[in-house]
Amino acid sequence: MREVFLFVHPTLGVLGILAALWVYVEAYSVDEARLRRMKIASFVVPALFLLTWVSGGLWDSFFYEADRAVMEKGSWAFVGDTAMEMKEHLFVVVLLLALYLPILASAMDLRRAAETRLPTMTVSALIVLLGFAMDGAGAILAGSVHVGMTTLLGS
């Protein structure tokens, strides 16, 4: 079960990033078909990020303590702690952007696409960029645990 939570939350997060990228591409040049696809994708984004939030949070609640104890033995403890704190709090910004995206996309129609296009593209681009930052922080955290483990095992 531990590994399921560990791998499910970044997978859902990456799928959320891809869905936000999909919204960005569709919003770039809107016609009737693109608008319909963009609106569907805009609702997929918050669904995936809400699942990412819950699955990552449950992993943090039930399984992170053991990883942290291992990480603290290594020389990357400071980097790992920073990455974890960043992930925990920066994710709130990504989650709110994801919840805001369908509100923006739902208001867009062909008649006044120019009005809502810029905020929609801004929000979807921010989700992609901050989402990648979250993924990077997760990779650093995994690296910090690995350094702690090699310190403990002496290899």
Q: Which residues bind another protein (CB under 8 A)?
A: 53, 56-57, 60-61, 78-79, 81-83, 85-86, 88-93, 95-97, 99-100, 103-104, 106-107, 115-119, 121-123, 126, 130, 133
Closest-CA residue to 137 (of 82, 75, 89, 74): 82
Residue nearer to another protein on the CB measure, 40 or 88: 88
Residue nearer to another protein on the CB measure, 116 or 154: 116
Residue 25: CB minimum distance to another protein, A: 18
Which H/E stretch holds residue 94?
helix 77-107
Residue nearer to another protein on the CB measure, 31 or 85: 85
Closest-CA residue to 141 (of 51, 64, 63, 57): 64
Residue 33: CB minimum distance to another protein, A: 21
SS3 state of residue 30: coil
Residue 39: CB minimum distance to another protein, A: 12
Residue 120: CB minimum distance to another protein, A: 9
Residue nearer to another protein on the CB measure, 22 or 91: 91
Residue 154: CB minimum distance to another protein, A: 25
Residue nearer to another protein on the CB measure, 40 or 72: 72
